[in-house]
Structure 1
Amino acid sequence: MKIAIIGAGSSYTPELATGLIEHESELSLDLVACFDIDSRRLEVVTGFCRRMAAARGARFEFEPTNDIERALEGASFVLTQIRVGGQQARHSDIKLGLDNDLIGQETTGIGGFAKAMRTIPVLVDLCRKIDARCPDAWLVNFTNPSGLVAEALMRHGRERVIGLCNIPINLHHDVAALLGVEPWRVEIDSFGLNHLSWVRGIRVDGREVLPELFDRVLAAGLPANLSDELDYPGEFLRALGMIPSGYLRYYYLRRRMLRKLKAQPRTRAEQVMELEKKLFSHYADESRTEPPAELSSRGGALYSRAALDVVLSLLLDRKDRQVLD
């Protein structure tokens, strides 16, 4: 089987590559075609992925290419992780919002809208190429704003498209950690759209435990190692009766979040640009065959797990339950 990664020069790609290597036999994987418009980043990232694969004895190939038609030809799955305009455009979006006392975050408010306007035309054009080169392929999109992108592509006629995010799987693991149980024992009942979702039920071994979780938060607060997904006042969570996505803080707690963003010395885009210098230095070191610890700070924790769960579910017709968006 062939998988195409569009935007393979992303610093996230080694995280995805780890999962592809781990599930090589289940995927019957022969080739991962890696496309990016930035030749330098593509060369560095695919070189590192090849070393990772060789060190683990993988038999499939990571093939870099600047020819998108070649990358797509015959692919069964197309994974998209592009950023039109790069981190500099993200920085401009954030500043545009903050300079006008608005949320400028990349999926929410004015920042998310600006990113959507840059991104959707590019991905609509990509879908035309998919229709020509691999019409039966599933497009699994990680590009933000994921919900808007997925809806736009479906409206433009692409039926086999899934908008994916690592927020649900991170929340799943956070809840399991908070309750002190293994993640596989936890079932999350959620609804909504990408970054605009709520958890209305949590079951452990089939038993509803959401009220118990609220009691723990009210009694002891949140452990420091949990993600922003649970960063709400305990009284608010109990009154709502649900756990909102962490991104809903930009609506429920707008003034607090705006103050927090404006108080930061650097935008998230600037932080990522600095972090990526370290990541790409690691990727370029030909002695390295393991992903760097700093990759977890990039914001894509469990990205590979989320993507591969969906791909394997579709490929093997597992008929299991996936929280996609």
Structure 2
Amino acid sequence: MRLTILGGGGFRVPLVYRALLGDRGSGRITNVVLYDTDTSRLSAITAVLRQQAADAVDAPVVTATTDLDEALRGADFVFSAIRVGGLAGRTVDERVALDLGVLGQETVGAGGIAYGLRTLPVAVQVAQRIAAVAPEAWVINFTNPAGMVTEAMIPYLGDRVIGICDSPSGLGRRAALALGVDPATAFYDYAGLNHLGWLRGLRSGGVDRLPELLESTSALASFEEGRLFGVEWLRSLGSIPNEYLHYYYFARETLAAVQAVPQTRGTFLLEQQSAFYAKTGQQPEQALELWQQTRAERESTYMVESRAVADAGERDERDMAAGGYEQVALSLMRAIAHNERASLILNVRNRGVLHQLDDDAVIEIPCTVDANGAVPRTVSQLTDHQAGLVCSVKAVERATIEAAATGSRSTALRAFAWHPLVDSVTVAHRLLDTYATELSGLGQFRH
């Protein structure tokens, strides 16, 4: 089995390779092709993977290339994790929004729209090449904004492209453990969009255990989302939101916290990862050790401003050690390749599951996966509040997709102005003008 990783020089690629090293089942991935446009990053990550495999038996063979078609030929699976504009682009996404008084998180709000506008044209080009060169390949999309990018790729790849994110499964796992339930045996009634969903039920042994969790102050305080949102608010909602909803429910406090720190998350990661790649280029024999040190610091500071607002304390060590999107990707690949029936929360077409959205809208929802791909499962319907927020943000996603495809300034303006975290059409104009000036590739949107 051959896996191609687009964005193969990315910092988190060793997580995927580590998961592959741990897979000893028959029919596992035996060849990994790394594709990237940056040869220095490719060299650094290839060195990390080589050292990861040093003591492994029959480790997947790793090759690297800067030729997209070469990378795609013969692929059984394509894992897409590209970052158009790099971390330098992310710093612009964040800073421009913050300077105009709105949140600038990379996938949420104004920052996510800017990220989508420059990423979608490249993602569509990639989808077209996959359709031409590797039409039988299954595409696992982790490129952010994941739901938006997956929806833009579907016209070219159909249901052979599936979006993944580790946030919903992480939330479900933490909630199950707080109840003393084996996470592998529970069904999570979860629905929404990528980075905008809610856990509305947790069934174990035929019984919904979520009401029991919401009743227990100590159980809620034992995991991250309980501390992040607070007991009173979770009980009021009657559900547990995805961690990214903290940007919506505590927008003012989070904005103030982010504006108060000396650097944005993107700037921190840009400086941190630039140092890692530079050091690895100078000391390739220490690549794995340097990567491990950098990753530990990266993970411990994840969503630090939101945790500070909620006084949620340090990140739980179990979250950092349990495996994230790489385990979701591995489970998805095994289910498809070996017809091993699995239940995973994925980004797929709605197909009538959520009544407020059309069939082709990409949603994040539990799916049954086998050799035929992913089919969304029946879940409880969204509440009025949840549906209102989901429909608003879906409209933003679709306006962003249309603007990226057509170059229409008026459509891009609607995307910014419609977002719930952008509270002014005047600010939307300023956001679009500034992003169009400062981000290469967005010049078509200038006034």
**Greater CA deviation, 31-40 or 285-294?**
285-294
Are 2:261 and 1:264 aligned? Answer: yes
**Aligned-partner SS, 1:257:** helix
* Partner residue of 2:231 out of 214, 230, 234: 234
Q: Give CA deviations for 1:46-92 in whole Å, capped at 9, x if unaligned.
A: 12112212321234311011111111001010001111111111011
Q: Distance in 1 between matches of 2:2 and 2:64?
A: 13
**Aligned-partner SS, 1:107:** coil
Deviation, 1:181, is: 4.0
Q: 2:202 matched to which residue of 1?
A: 202
Q: 1:321 matched to which residue of 2?
A: 343
Q: Distance in 1 between matches of 2:226 and 2:325?
A: 16
Residue 305 of structure 1 aligns with an amino acid whose one-letter code is: Q
Number of aligned pairs? 322
Q: Pairwise mapping of residues 27-66 of structure 1 onto structure 2 (< 5 A)?
A: 27-66=27-66
Q: 1:84 matched to which residue of 2?
A: 84
Q: Give CA deviations for 1:258-299 in whole Å, capped at 9, x if unaligned.
A: 122212221011221233256544695425657615425346
Q: Pairwise mapping of residues 146-161 of structure 1 onto structure 2 (< 5 A)?
A: 146-156=146-156, 158-161=158-161
**Aligned-partner SS, 1:91:** helix
Residues 321 and 179 (structure 1), Cα distance of their counterparts in 2 relative to 1, 3 Å cut: same
Are 2:246 and 1:249 aligned? Answer: yes
Q: Pairwise mapping of residues 111-190 of structure 1 onto structure 2 (< 5 A)?
A: 111-156=111-156, 158-190=158-190
Q: Distance in 1 between matches of 2:157 and 2:58?
A: 36
Are 2:14 and 1:14 aligned? Answer: yes
Contact kept in structure 2, 1:230 and 1:243, CA below 8 Å:
no
Deviation, 1:185, is: 3.7
Q: Distance in 2 between matches of 1:269 and 1:230?
A: 25
Contact kept in structure 1, 2:3 and 2:32, CA below 8 Å:
yes
Q: Percent identity?
A: 35
Residues 107 and 26 (structure 1), Cα distance of their counterparts in 2 relative to 1, 3 Å cut: farther
Residues 21 and 253 (structure 1), Cα distance of their counterparts in 2 relative to 1, 3 Å cut: same
Are 2:290 and 1:273 aligned? Answer: no
Contact kept in structure 2, 1:98 and 1:262, CA below 8 Å:
yes
Q: Distance in 2 between matches of 1:195 and 1:171?
A: 12
Q: Distance in 1 between matches of 2:225 and 2:88?
A: 24
**Greater CA deviation, 282-291 or 262-271?**
282-291
**Greater CA deviation, 314-323 or 120-129?**
314-323
Q: Distance in 2 between matches of 1:194 and 1:257?
A: 20
Q: 1:213 matched to which residue of 2?
A: 213
Q: Which runs of 5+ in 1 are unaligned?
A: none
**Greater CA deviation, 8-17 or 283-292?**
283-292
Contact kept in structure 2, 1:34 and 1:62, CA below 8 Å:
yes
Deviation, 1:158, is: 3.8
Q: Distance in 1 between matches of 2:60 and 2:256?
A: 49
Are 2:244 and 1:222 aligned? Answer: no
Q: Which has the higher contact order (CA 8 A, sep 6+)?
A: 1
Residue 260 of structure 2 aligns with an amino acid whose one-letter code is: A
Q: Distance in 2 between matches of 1:287 and 1:55?
A: 16
Q: Distance in 2 between matches of 1:227 and 1:220?
A: 11
What is the TM-score normalised by the length of structure 1?
0.91
Q: Distance in 2 between matches of 1:129 and 1:240?
A: 44
Q: Give CA deviations for 1:171-206 in whole Å, capped at 9, x if unaligned.
A: 122223323444224331101110111111012344
Q: Distance in 1 between matches of 2:14 and 2:324?
A: 12
Tell me the C-alpha RMSD between the 2 structures: 2.3
Q: Distance in 2 between matches of 1:84 and 1:276?
A: 16
Q: Distance in 1 between matches of 2:272 and 2:219?
A: 33
Q: Distance in 1 between matches of 2:227 and 2:116?
A: 26
**Aligned-partner SS, 1:212:** helix
Residue 3 of structure 2 aligns with an amino acid whose one-letter code is: I
Q: Distance in 1 between matches of 2:27 and 2:128?
A: 26
Q: Distance in 2 between matches of 1:126 and 1:271?
A: 29
Q: Which runs of 5+ in 2 are unaligned?
A: 303-319, 348-447
Residue 187 of structure 1 aligns with an amino acid whose one-letter code is: F
